[in-house]
C-alpha cells in the first residue's frame, strides 16, 4: 500500500538509520511505490541534509563523513583528469572564469597555477579550498549554503554573476538521459548556470561519459547552447542521438 509523502519519507529515514545505505530499487519495492517517487523523496531528504545520493543508492549523512563531492572525486579519475587537461588548454592568462560545483572541474582548479592573473568565480566550497593554494583571484558567490552540495545558491548569487562578464563559463551536469541538454538533480543552481551562460563569451560543458547514460530531474540548457561539450569517448549511438556537433572528445 502506498503512503503519503511525510509518512513515506519518515520510513526512509528509519530504514537509513538501521542500514546506513540502501538502493533506490530496494526502497521502491519495500515502500510499494515507483523508483521515480523514491528519487523525489531522496531529493527532498538530501536537500534537508539527512542523506546523500551516489549511483543509485542513498546513504545516511553523518557528521565528519566524506561529502558526495569527495566520493565523486574518486570515480572515473582518469577521465576527469583528461577532460580537465583539455579544458585547461582553452584558458589563457588574464581571463575571468566561472566554475560550477563539479568533481571534474576540481581537477581543473589544480592546473590553474600555470596561468597568470586569472579570476575564478565559483559557489563551490571544495573549489575554494583548492584555489586558495594557488595564485588566482577568487570571487566567492554569496547566498544560502547547501550542505549536501557544499555550495551556495539563491538570489544573492544570481545577482553577483549577473554583473560579471566571463571569458569562459565551465559547467557540469548530473545526467541527461532522455534530454537534449544537461540536467541537475535539484533546481538550486539552475538560475546561476543560466545567468552565467548569458554572460560568458564561451560556454563549456565538462562531464565524463557516464553522465550521458544517467537520468536527472531539471534540464537547464541544451547541448547546442554550449561552444564545446567536453567528455571522454562516447559511443556512436549516443553521439548520433544527441547530434553533438560541438563535441570535443578526449582520450584516456
Tell whether 176 and 226 lie within a shared domain. Answer: yes
Q: Do both 78 and 60 map to the same domain?
A: no
Tell which wins on pLDDT, 112 or 51: 112
- The answer on 97 and 49 residing in a single domain is no
Number of domains making up the chain? 2
* CA end-to-end span of the chain: 48
pLDDT digits (tens, 9 = 90+) for 72-88: 655 667 888 899 999 99
Give the helix/strand (H/E) hosting 127. helix 125-131
Examine the domain organization and report whether 41 and 82 are in the same domain.
no
Give the residue numbers spanning the domain of 217: 73-250
Using an 8 Å Cβ cutoff, are 46 and 148 in contact?
A: yes
Residue-averaged pLDDT of the chain: 87
Q: Of the segments 21-35, 93-107, 192-206, which one has the largest average pLDDT value?
A: 192-206
Same domain, 34 and 126: no
* Antiparallel, parallel or unpaired: β 151-153 and 144-146: antiparallel
End residue of a domain, out of 64, 94, 110: 64
Per-residue pLDDT tens digits for 150-187? 889 999 999 999 999 999 999 999 899 999 999 987 78
List C-alpha distances in Å: 216 to 43, 63, 164, 246: 11, 27, 29, 22
Q: Is a pLDDT exceeding 50 seen at residue 135?
A: yes
Q: Are residues 23 and 101 in the same domain?
A: no
Instruction: Identify whether residues 172 and 111 lie together within a single domain.
Output: yes
CATH number at residue 22: 1.10.10.10
Q: Is the pLDDT of residue 62 over 70?
A: no
Same-domain pairing of 171 and 237: yes
Per-residue pLDDT of 209-248, as tens digits, reads 989 988 888 999 999 999 999 999 888 888 888 888 899 9
Same structural domain, 210 and 246: yes
Does 167 lie in the same domain as 87? yes
The structure's pTM equals 0.73
Residues 177 and 81 in one domain: yes
Query: What does the radius of gyration of the chain's CA atoms come to, in whole angstroms?
Result: 18
User: What is the reported pLDDT for 2?
Assistant: 45
Residues 198 and 161 in one domain: yes
Q: Which residue has the higher pLDDT, 167 or 70?
A: 167
Residue where a domain terminates, one of 64, 85, 108: 64
Amino acid at each position: 500500500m502506498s503512503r503519503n509523502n511525510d509518512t513515506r519519507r519518515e520510513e526512509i529515514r528509519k530504514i537509513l538509520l538501521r542500514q546506513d545505505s540502501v538502493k533506490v530499487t530496494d526502497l521502491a519495492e519495500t515502500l510499494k511505490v515507483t523508483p521515480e517517487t523514491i528519487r523525489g523523496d531522496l531529493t527532498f531528504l538530501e536537500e534537508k541534509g539527512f542523506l546523500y545520493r551516489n549511483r543509485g543508492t542513498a546513504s545516511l549523512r553523518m557528521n565528519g563523513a566524506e561529502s558526495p563531492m569527495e566520493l565523486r572525486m574518486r570515480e572515473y579519475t582518469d577521465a576527469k583528469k583528461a577532460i580537465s587537461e583539455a579544458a585547461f588548454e582553452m584558458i589563457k592568462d588574464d581571463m575571468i572564469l566561472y566554475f560550477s560545483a563539479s568533481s571534474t572541474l576540481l581537477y581543473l582548479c589544480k592546473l590553474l597555477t600555470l596561468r597568470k592573473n586569472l579570476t575564478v568565480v565559483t559557489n563551490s566550497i571544495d573549489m575554494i579550498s583548492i584555489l586558495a593554494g594557488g595564485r588566482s583571484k577568487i570571487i566567492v558567490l554569496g547566498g544560502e549554503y547547501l550542505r549536501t552540495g557544499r555550495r551556495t545558491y539563491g538570489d544573492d548569487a544570481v545577482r553577483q554573476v549577473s554583473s560579471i562578464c566571463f571569458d569562459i563559463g565551465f559547467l557540469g551536469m548530473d545526467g541527461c538521459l532522455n534530454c537534449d541538454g544537461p540536467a541537475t538533480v535539484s533546481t538550486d543552481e539552475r538560475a546561476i548556470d543560466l545567468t552565467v551562460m548569458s554572460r560568458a563569451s564561451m560556454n563549456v560543458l565538462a562531464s565524463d561519459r557516464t553522465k550521458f547514460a544517467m537520468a536527472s530531474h531539471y534540464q537547464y540548457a541544451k547541448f547546442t547552447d554550449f561552444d564545446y561539450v567536453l567528455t571522454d569517448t562516447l559511443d556512436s549511438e549516443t553521439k548520433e542521438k544527441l547530434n553533438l556537433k560541438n563535441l570535443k572528445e578526449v582520450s584516456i
